Amino acid sequence: MDSSTKCIRIGTRGSLLARTQTDLIVTALQDLYPNLTLQITILKTSGDIHQDVPFNQVGTKGMFVKEIEQALLSGEIDLGVHSLKDMPSELPEGLQLTCTPEREDPRDALVSACGLPLAMLPLHAVVGTSSLRRKAQIRAFRPDIEVKDLRGNLDTRLRKLTEGDYTAIVLASAGLHRLGLRQKITEYLPVNLCLPAVGQGALALETRTDDLSTISLLAPLHHLETALAVNAERAFLRRLEGGCSVPAGAYAQIVGQEIYITGILANIDGSIVRKAQEKGSIHDSESLGIRLAERLLEMAGGSLPKG
d(CA 40, CA 43): 10
- Kindly state the average pLDDT of the residues 57-67: 68
Backbone angles phi, psi at 99, to 5 degrees: -145, 135
Residue pair 176/158 in contact (Cβ under 8 Å)? The answer is no
Catalytic residue, candidates 2, 31, 52, 86: 86
- Kindly state the average pLDDT of the residues 91-99: 97
Mean pLDDT for the chain overall: 91
Domains 108-188 and 233-299 share a fold: no
Q: Minimum mean pLDDT among 3-7, 62-66, 159-163, 276-280: which range?
A: 3-7
String of b and e for 275-285 (b: at least 16 CB within 10 Å)?
A: bbebebebeeb
Q: Is 284 a catalytic residue?
A: no
One of 3.40.50.300, 3.40.190.10, 1.20.120.530, 3.30.499.10 is the CATH number of 3-101+202-222, namely 3.40.190.10
d(CA 36, CA 25): 13
| Residue percentage of the chain with pLDDT more than 90 | 80
Three-state helix/strand/coil letters over the chain:
CCHHHCEEEEEECCCHHHHHHHHHHHHHHHHHCCCCEEEEEECCCHHHHCCCCCHHHCCCCCCCCHHHHHHHHHCCCCEEEEEHHHCCCCCCCCEEEEECCCCCCCCEEEEECCCCCHHHCCCCCEEECCCHHHHHHHHHHCCCCEEECCCCCHHHHHHHHHCCCCCEEEEEHHHHHHCCCHHHCCEECCCCCCCCCCCCCCEEEEEECCCHHHHHHHHHHCCHHHHHHHHHHHHHHHHHCCCCCCCEEEEEEEECCEEEEEEEEECCCCCCEEEEEEEEEHHHHHHHHHHHHHHHHHHCCCCCCCC
pLDDT greater at residue 58 or residue 306: 306
- DSSP lists the bridge partners of residue 95 as 208
One of 3.30.160.40, 3.40.50.2000, 3.40.50.2300, 3.50.50.60 is the CATH number of 233-299, namely 3.30.160.40
For 178, residues 6+ apart whose C-beta sits below 8 A from its C-beta are 17, 20, 21, 24, 104
Q: What are the sequence ranges of the domains in the chain?
A: 3-101+202-222, 108-188, 233-299
List the end-to-end C-alpha distance of the chain, in Å, as a whole number.
Answer: 53
pTM for the whole structure: 0.90
CATH number of the domain located at residue range(s) 108-188 in this protein? 3.40.190.10
Whether residue 57 is predicted with pLDDT greater than 80 in this model: the reply is no
Whether residue 228 is predicted with pLDDT greater than 60 in this model: the reply is yes
Residue pair 117/110 in contact (Cβ under 8 Å)? The answer is yes
pLDDT, residue 110, reads 98
Q: Minimum mean pLDDT among 16-25, 47-56, 96-105, 229-238: which range?
A: 47-56
Residue pair 181/105 in contact (Cβ under 8 Å)? The answer is no
Burial grade of 256 (CB within 10 A; 0-12, 13-18, 19 or more): exposed
Residue pair 282/259 in contact (Cβ under 8 Å)? The answer is yes
**Phi/psi-derived region of residue 164, left when phi > 0, alpha when psi is between -120 and 50, beta in every other case:** left
d(CA 296, CA 56): 21
pLDDT, residue 59, reads 45
